[in-house]
Structure 1
Amino acid sequence: MTESEELIATVDDGGIARLTINRPERMNALSGGVSLEIRRVLGEWAQRDDLRVVVLSGSGGSFSAGADITDIAANAGDAGVDEAGAVAIISNGSDLARALRAIRVPVVAAVDGAAVGIGASLALGADLVYATNRAYFLFPFVNIGLMPDGGASMLVAASIGRVRANALLLLGEKFRAAAAFDAGLVTEVLEDAAALSARVDEVVAKLAAKSPAALRITKAASDAITMAAFETALGEEMDGQTRLLQSPEFRQTLALFTKSDS
Structure 2
Amino acid sequence: MTYQHILAESHGDVRVLTLNRPDRLNAAPPALFDELREALGDLGGARAVLIAGAGRAFCSGADVAGGALGGDNPGEATHAALTDHYNPTIAALFDLAVPVVSAVRGPAAGIGCSLALAADFCVASDTAYFLQAFVNIGLIPDGGATWMLPRLIGRARATEMMLLGERVPAAKALDWGMIHKVVADDALDAEALALATRLAAGPTRAIGLMRRALGRALESDYASALAAEADAQRQARGSADSHEGGIAFLEKRKPVFTGR
Partner residue of 2:211?
A: 219
**1:60 aligned onto 2:55:** yes
Q: Which residue, out of 23, 28, 31, partners 1:30?
A: 28
Distance in 2 of aligned mates of 1:30 and 1:56: 14
Q: Deviations over 1:83-112 (max 9, x none)?
A: 3x2321221221121121121111000001
Check 1:149–1:182 CA distance in 2 against 1; reply closer, same or farther (3 A cut): same
Return 204-213 or 154-163, whichever deviates more: 204-213
1:127-146 superposed matches below 5 A: 127-146=120-139
**Whole-Å Cα distance in 2 between the matches of residues 120 and 59 of structure 1?**
15
Give the structure with the higher percent helix: 1
Amino acid at match of 1:7: I
Aligned-pair distance for 1:201?
2.2
Residue 39 of structure 2 aligns with an amino acid whose one-letter code is V
Correspondence 1:93-112 to 2 at 5 A: 93-112=86-105
**CA distance in 2: counterparts of 1:217 and 1:209, whole angstroms:** 16
Aligned ranges 1:138-177 → 2 under 5 Å: 138-177=131-170
- Whether 1:203 and 2:195 are equivalent positions in the alignment is yes
Partner Cα separation in structure 2 for residue 8 and residue 139 of structure 1: 26
**Could you tell me how far apart the structure 2 residues matched to 1:18 and 1:148 are?**
27
Amino acid at match of 2:13: G
Find the aligned partners of 1:95 and 1:20 in 2 and give their Cα distance.
Answer: 18
Shift of 1:130: 0.3
Q: Structure 2 length normalisation: TM-score?
A: 0.79
Identify unmatched segments of 5+ residues in structure 2.
221-260
**Higher RCO (CA 8 Å, separation ≥ 6 residues):** 1
Over aligned residues, Cα RMSD in angstroms?
A: 1.8
Q: Does the Cα contact within 8 Å between 2:3 and 2:35 map onto a contact in 1? A: no
Runs of 4+, deviation exceeding 4 Å: none
Contact 1:96 1:150 in 2 (8 A): no
TM-score (norm: length of structure 1): 0.78
Q: Name the larger-Rg structure.
A: 2
**Cα displacement string for residues 171-215 of structure 1 (whole angstroms, at most 9, x for unaligned residues):** 1110110000000001000011x2111211221222122111221
**Could you tell me which amino acid in structure 1 is paired with residue 216 of structure 2?**
A
1:202 partner amino acid:
A
Rounded to whole Å, the distance in 2 between the matches of 1:227 and 1:111 is: 28
The CA distance in 2 between the partners of 1:64 and 1:205, in whole Å, is: 23
Say which of 11, 15, 18 aligns to 1:17.
15
- Distance in 2 (alpha carbons) for counterparts of 1:106 and 1:75: 31
Measure the CA separation in 1 of the matches of 2:131 and 2:145.
11
Q: Work out the CA distance in 1 between the residues paired with 2:81 and 2:167.
A: 24
Separation in 1, partners of 2:140, 2:150: 15
State percent identity of aligned pairs.
Answer: 39
Given that residues 28 and 61 in structure 2 are in contact (C-alpha distance below 8 angstroms), is that contact kept between their aligned partners in structure 1? yes
Letter in 2 for 1:141: F
Match of 2:80 in 1: 88
**How many residue pairs get matched?**
219
Shift of residue 43 of structure 1?
A: 2.8
CA contact (8 A) 1:55 1:109 kept: yes
Q: Secondary structure at the match of 1:9?
A: strand
Classify 1:185/1:227 alpha carbon distance in 2 versus 1 (closer, same or farther; 3 Å): farther
Q: 1:123 aligns with which of 116, 125, 137?
A: 116
The separation in 2 between residues aligned to 1:27 and 1:183, in whole angstroms, is 25
Query: Secondary structure of 1:29's partner?
Result: coil
Preserved contact between residue 66 and residue 116 of structure 1 (Cα < 8 Å): yes
Cα contact 1:133–1:177 (8 A) shared by 2: yes
Secondary structure at the counterpart of residue 42 of structure 2: helix
